[in-house]
């Protein structure tokens, strides 16, 4: 039963991060007509959520094993998650799609996954749901919706412009958010405070990463792998020291605090605001390459928070 709860927690946390890391990032569903070479599909969505859940399981183990309790340590754990996804698996860490090294180290692993998906989407939104007022959650969800809608405007500036109808955008946004609400509810009943991984689980998860890195990642980028290893070390060393110094348990108990069903409804402000912004701005022709602005701001902020996080955690362990 305890193992099943850990799996359930990983699935719920994984979907929350998948929601912000994929559904918000890509903004809307790509139909075969819109993107014939690689259209979105239900199978693709399910596979993506499961894959994120696997990496979320690894991040939860990091949080547990290294007694991650502060937001600074959480940001380091989120960066590790981001480098697992974008370094070991997707390999965008090593450059590509117009983002060369060293900028690709930060974008998107740190600038999006750690900052937006983990720190804001997973942690801050959860705190808003469990500890803050209904109004606070409405404002938080609306702000995230504003960001979503503005970010989505940039897809029309792709080499092949991507633009969807109001109904298509709203359908994707509300369906994805509906599953986000379910994930937040499942997170509570999975009893995060009791998350204690076994040695077998840790060995299996490490083996998965090492095997994939050795058989898939390394053959593609053999000379750049040391860069990824160094980044992992920069994040892991403070966490290792944190484990030795931190007297309290990990912060996962904060993800299990009860949330009233009324508070969950506030999350619907997110797709509503995102749809409104996307539809109105496209209707009046107020579109601009918002991706450039987000890239610059999130990369600078993500790098800054990462450096501060390393300093804060090391200072805590001194």
Q: Which residues of 244-274 are buried (b: 16+ CB within 10 A; e: fewer)?
A: eebeeebbbebbbeebeeebbebbbbbbbbb
Cα–Cα dist 63/6, whole Å: 13
Q: Please list the helix, strand and coil fractions of the chain in percent, rounded to the nearest 5, in that order.
A: 80, 0, 20
Res 138: pLDDT: 98
Look up the domain containing 207 and give its range: 2-317
Res 34: pLDDT: 79
Number of domains forming the structure of the chain: 1
Entry pTM: 0.96
- Dihedral angle sign, alpha carbons of residues 105, 109, 112, 116: negative
Q: Which helix (H) or strand (E) holds 103?
A: helix 103-106
- Cβ atoms of 264 and 185 within 8 Å: the answer is yes
Res 39: pLDDT: 84
Cα–Cα dist 101/111, whole Å: 14
Res 222: pLDDT: 93
Cα–Cα dist 312/305, whole Å: 10
Res 274: pLDDT: 98
Phi, psi of 73 (to 5 degrees): -70, -35
Cα–Cα dist 113/240, whole Å: 22
Res 241: pLDDT: 94
Report the residue count for the chain: 318
Could you read off the pLDDT tens digit of each residue along the chain, which spans 318 residues? 899 999 999 999 999 999 999 999 999 998 877 787 788 889 999 999 999 999 999 999 999 999 999 999 999 999 999 999 999 999 999 997 689 999 999 999 999 999 999 999 999 999 999 999 999 999 999 999 999 999 999 999 988 889 999 999 999 999 999 999 999 999 999 999 999 999 999 999 999 999 999 999 999 999 999 999 999 999 999 999 999 888 778 899 889 999 999 999 999 999 999 999 999 999 999 999 999 999 999 999 999 999 999 999 999 887
């Amino acid at each position: 039963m305890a193992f099943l709860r850990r799996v359930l927690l990983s699935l719920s946390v994984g979907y929350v991060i998948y929601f912000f890391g994929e559904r918000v990032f890509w903004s809307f569903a790509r139909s075969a007509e819109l993107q014939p070479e690689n259209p979105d599909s239900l199978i693709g969505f399910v596979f993506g959520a499961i894959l994120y859940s696997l990496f979320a399981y690894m991040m939860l183990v990091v949080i547990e094993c290294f007694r991650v309790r502060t937001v600074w340590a959480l940001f380091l754990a989120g960066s590790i998650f981001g480098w697992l996804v974008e370094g070991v698996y997707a390999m965008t860490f090593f450059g590509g799609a117009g983002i060369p090294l060293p900028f690709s180290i930060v974008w998107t692993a740190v600038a999006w996954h750690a900052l937006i998906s983990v720190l804001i989407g997973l942690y801050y939104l959860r705190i808003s749901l469990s500890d803050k007022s209904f109004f606070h959650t409405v404002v938080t969800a609306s702000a995230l919706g504003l960001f979503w809608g503005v970010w989505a405007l940039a897809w029309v500036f792709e080499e092949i412009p991507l633009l969807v109808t109001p109904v298509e955008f709203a359908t994707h946004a509300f369906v994805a958010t509906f599953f986000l609400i379910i994930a937040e509810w499942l997170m509570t009943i999975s009893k995060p405070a009791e998350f204690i991984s076994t040695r077998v689980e840790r060995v299996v998860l490490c083996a998965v990463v090492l095997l994939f890195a050795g058989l898939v990642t390394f053959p593609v980028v053999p000379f750049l792998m040391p860069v990824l290893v160094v980044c992992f070390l920069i994040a892991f060393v403070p966490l290792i020291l944190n484990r030795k110094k931190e007297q309290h348990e990990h912060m996962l108990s904060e993800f299990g605090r009860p949330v009233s069903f009324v508070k969950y409804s506030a999350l619907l402000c997110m797709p509503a605001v995102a749809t409104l912004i996307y539809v109105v701005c496209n209707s009046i022709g107020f579109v601009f390459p918002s991706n450039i602005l987000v890239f610059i701001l999130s990369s600078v902020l993500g790098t800054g928070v990462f450096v501060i996080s390393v300093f804060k955690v090391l200072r805590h362990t001194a």
